[in-house]
Amino acid sequence: MAAEESQRDFSSQSNSGSVHGTHLSLKLAVDFEAKVITGSATYTVKVVENGATQFVLDTSTLVITKVEVDGVRAKFRQHVEHQTFGSALEITLPGAERAAGSTATVSIFYNTSPRSSAVQWLPPAQTAGKARPYLFTQCQAIHARALLPCQDTPAAKLTYDATVEVPEWATCLMSALSTGAPATAGSSEGMRTFGFHQPVPVPSYLIALAVGDLASREISHRCRIWSEPSMVDAAAHDFAQTEEFLTAAEELTCPYEFLTAAEELTCPYVWGRYDVLCLPPSFPYGGMENPCLTFVTPTLLTGDRSLAFVVAHEISHSWTGNLITNRTWQSFWLNEGFTMWLERKIMSRVTRDARYYDFDAHIGWNHLKEDIALFESKGSAALTALCPPLEGIDPDDAFSSVPYEKGFALLNELQTRIGAEAFEEFVKTYIDNFKFGTITGTQFRAFVQASSYFKGDALDGLDWDEWLFAPGMPRNKPNALALEVLRAMDAAYGLSAARNSELAFRWQLLCLRRRADFIVSHVLEFITSQGRMKFTRPLYRELNKRPETASQAVDAFMANADFYHPICRAMVAKDLGLQMKKNMSRSLRCARYA
Ligand SMILES: CC/C=C\C/C=C\C[C@@H](O)/C=C/C=C/C=C\[C@@H](O)CCCC(=O)O
Ligand SMILES: [Zn+2]
């Protein structure tokens, strides 16, 4: 296999590997008339590599007016603009080469351009109220650099605070916690100032802003639904299950025994609040997982809550994506594949219907097929790899259902190998291990391989290179036959008690492969009551694949060795890794190879 996951972020020109902005203070003012945001971005900068002399950020269509380092004017240079990746902004750190661990405060004074790719400025006609303008941002994947100078790579997480001056009639929201009521004191005439802080380190693509004529409805102690006033009741109705989704997500992600709300929680929700802003119809995505404030499209408003699963998806990103973040866009599948998995688990719980997971996975599989065919027809098959070659590529051009559904398919494949219950526990260890950080596919692979949940032969035959780097459809369709479905089929059709040997054989093999342990006693009964190799050998081999059932297979075989025809006995002994001593037939005469 040719490809390799790069440690470099091809989509950023910043030098976050040697100098890292760890905290950002934004002071912004919104000018609807000029369609610009003006202000300053002040970074607390930490040198991580000895000898650094520059702090390099990404910008796109920004006008930089002044830079200060530790309060003193500093030299800066904006490179020629690259069509996709923008202009690198090089700021000279004055004095001698900086030692690792040293810090500085860097303030950049700037304004955005009316053609910023991060901001949509809506005239009143494009709003529901038709009376006031509106603006919202969308920074994923690499548009944050068109909103503020930043190290626009998910590898560089930072905390932030912000003040934003907006017209007095407007409400300003950000992907952060509010610091309190807006202030008019200290603001320009006719303006008021909103304050925010985000104490959890986030990547730049999660910095978000919306300003408009907004109203809200509180739907739980930590969830509020926002939109334009004329839509807010409809939005609050369609997203009324938000708290229920959030609770289900907490149960699925908390590595400790989950306690009820009345008791002390062992896993407090890291982000503090989960609010939802329902945007005007030009919002380009179904939802965007901006922390503390998910953005959603109004196309979800049906009146019957049938599209609220998008909120379950965005809630899931609170852990997979926002808490554990893809280190570069090559590992975007870890954000989205895990989020699809969690979304489907949440929806199965909330609907109390285990079939939800399988049916939705089936729909996702078909979506994946369509997207892969589309990319192949465009001559872009390489972008259908889970870890795509992104050098020189605009991430927006690479976007498809591949990271979502192929990513999910890989996780589902892992789940199938150890069973849903064990995989759910494994995911909790994954979250606990990588929370607050970033991850690559290579790290994930190593984590799985080292995990005690995947001991023994659980990963046998899994071709990681093919999964991560080969374009096209994965080989194995996610199996829709969850344990619960097998139990329901058994209850409906009595398959475990089937007397038809062909039927019993197929059913038993299927159940063993799905690790449905209720079948084991039936299998042992079947393989010790007849000796037809067509049935007996595959079932013994299947039992022998897992430590939990292998010893039962050996015991059953040894106890019944005399029953089998010598050919069958010899074949099964080989299948089980046992050596039959010549002319001996009793169980004690078998010994394990090696
Ligand atoms: C392998 C692809 C590499 C990088 C792509 C990363 C980001 C792509 C960029 O286009 C931004 C995507 C933003 C997505 C936001 C929300 C999605 O969950 C929405 C999914 C589609 C929808 O429901 O409308
Ligand atoms: Zn998502």
Q: How far is the CA of 288 from the centre of ligand 1 (A)?
A: 9
314 is catalytic: yes
Average pLDDT over residues 214-219: 98
Q: Which CATH number applies to 214-318: 3.40.50.1980, 3.30.450.40, 3.40.190.10, 3.30.2010.30?
A: 3.30.2010.30
> Cβ distance 46 to 101 under 8 Å?
yes
pLDDT in the model for residue 479 = 65
Q: What is the pLDDT of residue 593?
A: 32
Tens digits of residue pLDDT in 465-507: 999 999 999 987 776 877 888 999 999 999 999 989 889 999 9
Asked if 374 and 368 touch (Cβ cutoff 8 Å), the reply is: no
As beta bridge partners, residue 296 has 278, 287
Residue 20 predicted with pLDDT over 60: yes
The rounded distance, in Å, linking the Cα atoms of 552 and 568 is 18
Contact criterion met (CB below 8 Å) for 119 and 137: yes
What is the number of H-type helices and E-type strands within the chain? 16, 24
Neighbours of 51 (CB within 10 A): 11
Distances (CA, A) of 539 to 415, 526, 543, 575, 579: 22, 9, 6, 10, 19
Q: Assign 95 a pLDDT band (cuts: 50, 70, 90).
A: confident
Q: Where are the domains of the chain?
A: 9-126+137-209, 214-318, 325-469, 492-592
Domain 325-469, architecture per CATH: Orthogonal Bundle (1.10)
Annotated binding site for a peptide: which residue ranges? 138-140, 284-289, 532-534
Q: Quick check: 415 pLDDT over 70?
A: yes
343 catalytically annotated = no
| Atom number, ligand 1, closest to the C-alpha of residue 285 | 24
State the average pLDDT over residues 175-185: 97
Q: Which of 90, 228, 314, 343 is catalytic?
A: 314
With respect to CATH, is domain 492-592 assigned 1.25.40.320? Answer: yes
CATH 2.40.30.210 fits 9-126+137-209, yes or no: no
pLDDT band, residue 580 (cuts 50/70/90): low
Cβ atoms within 10 Å, residue 475: 11
pTM for this model (two decimals): 0.85
- CB within 6 Å of ligand 1 — which residues? 140-141, 285-288, 329, 332, 388, 395-396, 398-399, 403
**pLDDT classification of 149: cutoffs 50, 70, 90:** very high
Closest-lying ligand to the alpha carbon of 390?
Answer: 1
- Sequence ranges of the binding site: 138-140, 284-289, 313, 317, 336, 532-534
Q: Average the pLDDT over 371-396 and give the result.
A: 97
Q: Is the pLDDT assigned to residue 265 strictly greater than 70? A: no
Q: Which residue has the higher pLDDT, 339 or 478?
A: 339
Average pLDDT value for the chain: 93
Catalytic residue among 205, 404, 540, 564: 404
Which atom number of ligand 1 is nearest to the Cα of residue 396?
10
582: pLDDT confidence band, cut at 50, 70 and 90? very low
The protein residue with its alpha carbon nearest to ligand 1, atom 15, reads 288
Residue stretches of the annotated binding site for Zn(2+): 313, 317, 336
C-alpha span between 152 and 157 (Å, rounded): 10
Cα torsion for 279, 283, 285, 288, to the nearest 10°?
A: -50
Give which of 167, 196, 164, 156 is closest to 180, Cα–Cα.
196
Question: Which residues, in sequence order, are bridge partners of residue 209?
Answer: 174
Q: How far is the CA of 325 from the centre of ligand 1 (A)?
A: 14
Give 47-74 pLDDT, tens digit per residue.
999 999 999 999 999 999 999 999 999 9
Relative to the CA of 314, which ligand 1 atom is closest? 18
User: How many angstroms is it from 518 CA to the middle of ligand 1?
Assistant: 41
Ligand 2 center to 118 CA (angstroms) = 18
Taking the CB of residue 120, how many other CB atoms lie within 10 A of it?
A: 18
**Two structure tokens written together for 493:** 């059709």
Contact status, residue 183 vs residue 163, Cβ threshold 8 Å: no
Question: CB neighbours of 266 closer than 8 A, spacing ≥ 6?
Answer: 254, 256, 257, 258, 259
